[in-house]
Amino acid sequence: MQVLTPDSASWQLAPDTRPLPMSILFAILFYLATLVFVVGLLYRIGVYTRTPAPLKIPTTPAPTTTGGVVLRMAREVLFFESLFKSNLWTWGLGMLFHASLALVLLRHLRYFTEPVWAWVAFIQPFGKYAGITLLLGAAGLWARRLFVERIRYISTPSDHLMLALFFVIAISGLMMTFVAHPDVVAVKGYFLGLMSFNWQALPSSAGLYVHLLMVAALLMIFPISKLLHAPGVFFSPSRNQTDNPREKRHIAAWAKQLESES
């Protein structure tokens, strides 16, 4: 059996570090969660791809060229342009949450790469404190759903569940970072072992168990939740269409088939 040791970045033999029952349980859980996430996400993207857009419905003023559409989508995905124009408070909380989440996820790449890439090592201090801003962003978005009447009216239990999952993930992660530190070298060895099907022992830590359990739940829920707005924004006809109805006729594939048959 091979593991990473604190004083060495290379693999060393450690025959006494056999996986414990909790290690095996979480290994199976993460294989299952990853499978559900990947297959479910690919399936939903396939559905989005096959769904026809029968009308020319770009939100105007809209770009009239493909390059303009690409630029518009980039502004929407990176800077939430439409949300900025709609509500500055919501935009600020959304940017804080999503930017922090991106930084936290990138920081976690250190657990899946050996050696750690230079830029991942560089962002470690920033990603460490991004967990705090992630929690603040999630708290602000949750407060919005609880206390803003028109948002509370359209909020569903699944909206609160998603925010609760992020809340618990952020809190448990911060607890491990600043309060009860698990053996991060062993944690990295565990996930590198999962990637190569060479299972290692997962450190015994209640905070780590809660954190990993919530992450696995989030992965499995993702393909059937509103979190699909992440890939879904690229398939929004009001955003990804050029405003050229006079220059070029827009017709859905199924309508074109009916037209040819008639």
Is-contact 55 250, C-beta < 8 A? yes
Per-residue model confidence (pLDDT) at position 246: 85
Q: At what angle do helices 184-195 and 21-50 cross, to 10 degrees?
A: 60
Domain ranges of the chain: 15-261
CB neighbours of 91 closer than 8 A, spacing ≥ 6? 80, 83, 84
pLDDT in tens, 46-88: 999 998 888 888 988 999 999 999 999 999 999 999 999 999 9
Backbone angles phi, psi at 98, to 5 degrees: -70, -40
Q: With residue 3 as reference, give the H or E element that holds it.
A: strand 2-5
pLDDT in tens, 175-207: 999 998 899 999 999 999 999 998 899 998 999
Residue 168's pLDDT band (cuts 50, 70, 90): very high
Per-residue model confidence (pLDDT) at position 18: 60
Tell me the average pLDDT across 208-234: 95
DSSP string, 112-176: T-SSPPHHHHHTHHHHHHHHHHHHHHHHHHHHHHHH-HHHHHH--HHHHHHHHHHHHHHHHHHHH
pLDDT in tens, 35-49: 999 999 999 999 999
CA 233, distance to chain mean position in Å, is: 14
Tell me the average pLDDT across 222-244: 93
Per-residue model confidence (pLDDT) at position 53: 82
Per-residue model confidence (pLDDT) at position 247: 86
Query: Among 204-208, 225-229, 255-259, whose mean pLDDT is lowest?
Result: 255-259
Nearest 5°: CA angle at 101, between 95 and 103? 100
Residue 153's pLDDT band (cuts 50, 70, 90): very high
Per-residue model confidence (pLDDT) at position 115: 92
d(CA 238, CA 59): 5
d(CA 219, CA 217): 5
Residue type at 128 in one-letter notation: K
Tell me the average pLDDT across 127-149: 95
Per-residue model confidence (pLDDT) at position 171: 96
pLDDT in tens, 5-32: 333 334 343 444 566 788 999 999 999 9
Would you put residue 155 in left (φ > 0), alpha (ψ -120 to 50) or beta? beta
Residue 134's pLDDT band (cuts 50, 70, 90): very high
Domain range 15-261, CATH architecture: Up-down Bundle (1.20)
pLDDT in tens, 104-125: 999 999 999 999 999 999 999 9
- Which residue is associated with the tokens 């997962």? 202
**Mean of per-residue pLDDT scores for the chain:** 89
Per-residue model confidence (pLDDT) at position 120: 95
